[in-house]
Amino acid sequence: MLKRRVEEVHPTPVDMPGVQGVAMRLLVGRKDGAPTFAMRHYTVSPGGHTPRHQHNYEHEVMIMGGTARVEYDGAFHDCAAGDVLLIEPNKMHQFVNAGPQDLTFLCFVPVTFDCGKPTPGS
């Protein structure tokens, strides 16, 4: 069994086009021997956002703190702590911090897609 605390994992700034004020902690992933899913913890600073993007694998998200305006497949949704989301494959999506405090969420992704390619950030 693997046991660790979120604060023990160093946050890595997400450095890619379309991102502002986002850091990720890979809580459980391929390097830990996870055979199927990776667990990631994101922090989005006030005024920050993830890239507007899509990919051919699903992910599940649980908002842990703060408020978000989530774009999903052309519609916008206000989300807050306790909300759980399914982001289906190939759907355009983006998370925007809509509040004055950090937005935090857990994001679960498969460790591989397309017959064995490593999922980014897994």
| Predicted pLDDT at 44 | 98
pLDDT at 106 over 80: yes
Full DSSP string of 6-48: GGGSPPEE--STT-EEEEEEEEE-GGGT-SSEEEEEEEEEEEE
pTM attached to this predicted model: 0.94
pLDDT at 119 over 90: no
Section 97-119 average pLDDT: 92
Residue bearing the bigger pLDDT, 73 or 117? 73
Binning pLDDT at 50, 70 and 90, where does residue 115 land?
A: confident
| Predicted pLDDT at 65 | 98
- Residue 71 is classified by DSSP as E
| Superfamily for domain range 22-118 | Jelly Rolls (2.60.120.10)
Section 17-41 average pLDDT: 96
Domain ranges of the chain: 22-118
Binning pLDDT at 50, 70 and 90, where does residue 8 land?
A: very high
pLDDT at 116 over 90: no
Sign of CA dihedral 7, 13, 16, 18: positive
